[in-house]
Amino acid sequence: MSDPIEGVLGAALSRGCFGLLVAGDDGAARALVRDLAGALEGAHALGFSRDPDGWPASLRVVALGGEVTLAQGLRAALRQDPDWLVAEAPTADLPLDLLVTATQTGHGVLVRAAGCPDERPLVEALGEVEWAASAFPRVVVADARGVARIVAADGAPVWTRGAPLPAPERATGHGRFVPPPPLVREPTPPLDPDVLERLRARLAPHVRPTFVPVLAPPSDDAARSRLGGRPLLAPGEVWPRCGDCGAPMPLAVQLARAELPAEAAIAFPPGAEHLQLFYCTSDACGVTDPASPGARNRLLRILDRGEPAPAPPGFSGVTRLAPQDVVGWERRLETPGTEDADLPDDLREARWRLADRVANGEATPEEVPLAGPLAGQKLLGWPMWTQAPGWEACPRCGERMTFVFQVDANQGPLEMLFAADGTGHVSQCPAHPDVVVFTWACG
């Protein structure tokens, strides 16, 4: 774990606030808890897990399973008045009320909830709880690289990888207040010039422009490029509904050919003016394999001719859609992900350091594109995969499809569109521009 994160989490943990780890990868989460062992050292800390191996030695771990549920274990543990409770359990088994009570009575609680995208209802449930000190970070989302994101109980982002660190805040009202240690960040050392040059030479043939949307509050113009909001529909069409559960699907993305950079306009077949993605956000949706290109929980299409849709119907679900118009595109340069670029180990390592330098604002303008694909919504360039590269083959000809648009569920107008984190990608067949698919993966 990098120093800045340790600083943020260490400060938060030392104040006895509620920390909740949400991760899709068991190994990553456990490693993260190991990294936080310093914060638990010297404290009376009890752990609960179905798999008691591999935890820090300072933690006494109670094995869950059989007759022993997490709720029972926690009740027993609270009678011992421990400083810290550390638990690892499936989201559905978390006794949220008990965990909340524990935090409100001054116990530090650190939980890894397994499950993705099960964290959606979890974040929603936490949002309904009235917290004693709402300014503290509550939900820590981790992936294989460590902490990716910290969000408050109401879902508001506190920190996202790559952003500057939040200012430390004073505890009020609950818990044992220990002044947080000052946040000290060592600068990330620059790359060895030879290594940087090798990385540059390796990536030079793969540098591509990408276009980041410039956003503005939504207008009444249903024909313009937008993320969420009111779209165009085909003449006479009723609002699109989910092919699985029948719920109306909100618009996620609408791209208007006339407003796109020239490089992207060629992606539209002759006569087509809009590319649209509608996506089902209903909690009641029972679609299986929702991330796959063939799932019926979305409508991705190229629209030849449209007219303004009626006012959007109500949408259910925990998605935090905040519609925005796209009023421009900012051109940047980027290079492929480490796996797509097939980098050798030492250059992979160099890239991690470069990513830290970019995140901390230390990278030179020449270094920035070499750090890899950008997160966030973007048009063209290189996809930032949340998991392994997910290039799709054209269902018509088998050709590898090209990347068109990236949807970011971590933050911004489409936050939690398909999961509480992750990225989705619209891809298109280079030979058959009318063949487009949408896929996603979460951490």
Residue 392 within binding range of Zn ion, rule CB under 5 A: no
Q: Based on CB atoms, which residue is closest to Zn ion, 50 or 241?
A: 241
CA distance 249 to 253: 12
- E strand or H helix that includes residue 443: none
Q: Based on CB atoms, which residue is closest to Zn ion, 77 or 299?
A: 299
Query: Least distance (Å) from Zn ion to the CB of residue 118?
Result: 17
Q: Strand (E) positions, 54-207? A: 60-63, 84-90, 108-114, 139-143, 146-151, 157-160
Among positions 148, 277, 359, 394, the unique one binding Zn ion when judged by CB under 5 A: 394
Residue 248: how many CB atoms within 10 A of its CB?
18
Chain centre to alpha carbon of residue 128: 21
Q: Based on CB atoms, which residue is closest to Zn ion, 139 or 394?
A: 394
Query: Least distance (Å) from Zn ion to the CB of residue 177?
Result: 46
Q: Based on CB atoms, which residue is closest to Zn ion, 210 or 319?
A: 319
CA distance 376 to 384: 9
Q: Based on CB atoms, which residue is closest to Zn ion, 20 or 280?
A: 280
Question: Where in 224-283 is the site for Zn ion (CB under 5 A)?
Answer: 242, 244-245, 280, 282
Q: Based on CB atoms, which residue is closest to Zn ion, 76 or 397?
A: 397
The letter for the amino acid at 123 is V
**Residue 39 region by backbone torsions, left for phi larger than 0, else alpha for psi between -120 and 50, else beta:** alpha
Query: Least distance (Å) from Zn ion to the CB of residue 429?
Result: 3
Give the per-residue contact string, 281-310, with Zn ion (x = CB under 5 A; - = no): -x--x-----------x-------------
The letter for the amino acid at 276 is Q
- E strand or H helix that includes residue 295: none
Among positions 185, 331, 396, 400, the unique one binding Zn ion when judged by CB under 5 A: 396
**Taking the chain, what is the end-to-end CA distance rounded to the nearest angstrom?**
17
Q: Based on CB atoms, which residue is closest to Zn ion, 332 or 432?
A: 432
Residue 431 within binding range of Zn ion, rule CB under 5 A: yes
Tokens coding 235? 């003449």
Query: Least distance (Å) from Zn ion to the CB of residue 242?
Result: 3
CA distance 437 to 275: 11
Residue 439 within binding range of Zn ion, rule CB under 5 A: no
Query: Least distance (Å) from Zn ion to the CB of residue 395?
Result: 8
Tokens coding 184? 């000290």
CA distance 264 to 380: 7
Residues that bind Zn ion (CB under 5 A): 242, 244-245, 280, 282, 285, 297, 394, 396-397, 399, 429, 431-432
